[in-house]
Amino acid sequence: MNEPRIKSIDYSLYYGEFQALRNITVDIPRNRITAIIGPSGCGKSTFLRSFNRMNELIPSVRTEGRVLLDGENIFEQEVVNLRKKIGMVFQRPNPFPKSIFDNVAYGPRIHGRKDKSNLARIVETSLKSSALWEEVKDDLGRSALSLSGGQQQRLCIARALAVEPEVILMDEPASALDPVATLRIEELITTLKENYTIVIVTHNMQQAARVSDYTAFLLTDEARAGNLVEFGPTKEIFTTPKDKRTEDYISGRFG
Amino acid sequence: MRFMYTLRARKAQQSIAYGVLWLMAGISVAIMLLVVGYVVIEGFGKISLDFFTTSPRGGLSGEGGIYSTIVTTVLLVVVTMFIATPLGVCAGIFLVEYADYVKNKAVAFLVGLARFGVETLAGVPSIIFGLFGYALFVTAMGLGFSVLAAAMAGACLVIPVVIRTTEESLKTVPDSFREGSLALGASRWETVRKVILPSALPGVTTGLILSVGRIVSETAIFYVTLGGSYRTPNSLLSSGRTMALHVFYLAMETRAFDKAMATGAVLVALIVILNLIVNTISGRLSSEMK
């Protein structure tokens, strides 16, 4: 395994008094797809949202331990720069009520790209990378809200790609989509790993098995705090898990 | 048989309830129509072009039109909203988008106090704001009965309204927009300015127009801050009377009750127009959301 892109070291997170994540230490490999799986409420989304510090939107959240991006502590970085480097795609497609073009150009504009032809090029590249270009190229001025759910999600991926991140976090990106749209998103994710490190949260174990290279399995302990049970290559996690609880979970005995 | 009986009884109850509700609703609407209709029918007969272009002449007879009161009303609305809009809208934005992230205990306490204050002030009778305005702006600050003093008191009256409606419309913007923007590396202010505010704008505008309506129709607060001069104001320090105040003066101090009715009819028309604008905006809002 090459030098990890993200490392979490003894990372814990609290909502007020309640501990939601306990001492999680894991290495997220570079240019691979890492899936985070686990039953509902095990803290997988919370863990994912730690990497781009989205948990800080909740005023009561407090963290311990460290998370490193390329060896640098993310909590010591300017959050705006961190989120430029670590993009995110959400559970429900959340395009802004703007045109397709303005949605994709939103990030680059924020980060100071004003030049029109430059922006147009970024928008085109991003939409091509997210496999939406062919469907929308004739009318980029149309409202993003007029797209179907699957198209909206691919637009949100394009929007994330447009700021040229190194890592893309995906929080159950297909859970609100129909099977066909889901398949397209999964294909897209697989093509994206050449250039990006991808971390995906999913409650769909088949999806984890289909798309990911590595899998982290989270489970709550007696105090309902999320723990990392096992991390390894997806193949090993799904065929020869080392932990009994992992085996129980992937064979569908609970969760 | 027993079953049939209860079914019939339930149907009868349903019919009676329907009838009573219908009747009550009908009476309520009829009362409103009667009030508005009376003013309009009584009033519109007296309205002519002269009515709009001449000023009241004063005195017991109530001669003249309402030109100066229109000018005063417009001036008062403009100055009031000039003060109230930035204060109210910015306060609303702060309370919804920033206040929860305040770490300083003392500031957090002030924020709580402000929230409570906004809710309470929205229900305080306007004359209380008038008394405050009289004591502070008219007397202590030495502005006298003037458009400026009245506008400052009026701003105090509508700022809670503007804050409330701004807050409400910001809260209707889904959090997923905020998350989406922040996750792209936008700052909180960039998120507010480029994503949240454009979505909330129709709601914010509605609040502002409702505030305009409030200024146009309030009387008590301006009775004690604006004075009652029937002349056209020539500066912000001039006294004056709004249309609503003019109705009051005409009815109480002159014999020209018909002129009061005519002015009232104009006021009603103005309020109707403002409400139509609000409806158009919120109609557009709801159709855009689909």
- B183 touches A at CB < 8 Å: yes
**Strand A86-89 with A167-171, pairing:** parallel
Pick from B177, B178, B184: CB nearest A110: B184
Q: How far is A237 from chain B (nearest CA, A)?
A: 31
* Predicted local distance difference test score (pLDDT) of residue A37: 95
Ranges under pLDDT 50 in chain B: 289-290
Contact B184 A54 (CB under 8 A): no
Q: Which residues pair with A215 in a beta bridge?
A: A35, A232
Q: Does B106 touch chain A (CB under 8 A)?
A: no
Per-residue confidence (pLDDT) for residue B286, from 0 to 100 = 59
Query: Minimal Cα–Cα distance from B150 to chain A, Å?
Result: 40
| Nearest CB partner across the interface for B184, out of A57, A59, A106 | A106
> Where on the phi/psi map is residue A41: left (φ > 0), alpha (ψ -120 to 50), or beta?
left
Cα–Cα distance, B28 to B211 (Å, whole number): 25
Cα(B290)–Cα(B274) distance, integer angstroms: 25
Beta-bridged to residue A61, according to DSSP, are A15
- Residue A68 main-chain phi, psi, to 5 deg: -110, 135
Looking at CA atoms only, how far is residue B185 from chain A in angstroms? 4
C-alpha distances out from residue B149 to A213, B77, B161, Å: 71, 13, 19
In this complex, do B185 and A96 lie within 8 Å of one another by their Cβ atoms?
no
How many Cα atoms within 13 Å fall on the side-chain side of residue A100? 24
CA–CA distance, B159 with B164 (Å, rounded to integer):
8
Q: How far is CA B98 from CA A58, A114, B167, in A?
A: 12, 28, 12
Distance separating alpha carbons of residues B36 and B43, to the nearest angstrom: 10
CA–CA dist B154, B138 (Å, integer)? 13
pLDDT in tens, B200-238: 999 999 999 999 999 999 999 999 999 989 999 999 999
Q: What is the dihedral of CA A84, A88, A89, A95, to 10 degrees?
A: -40
Query: Each residue of A229-249: pLDDT tens digit?
Result: 999 999 999 999 999 999 999
pLDDT by residue for chain A (255 residues), tens digit each?
Answer: 568 999 999 999 999 999 999 999 999 999 999 999 999 999 999 999 999 999 999 989 999 999 999 999 999 999 999 999 999 999 999 999 999 999 999 999 999 999 999 999 999 999 999 999 999 999 999 999 999 999 999 999 999 999 999 999 999 999 989 999 999 999 999 999 999 999 999 988 999 999 999 999 999 999 999 999 999 999 999 999 999 999 999 888 776
Determine the 3-state secondary structure of B142 from DSSP. Answer: coil
Binary contact (B184, A159; C-beta < 8 A): yes
pTM above 0.95, yes or no: no
Tally of helices (H runs) and strands (E runs) in chain A: 10, 10
B183–A54 CB contact, under 8 Å: yes
In total, the C-beta contacts within 8 angstroms joining chain A to chain B are 63
Please give the pLDDT value at position B290. 41
DSSP 8-state code for residue B233: P
Q: Kindly give the pairing relationship between strand A226-233 and strand B63-64.
A: unpaired
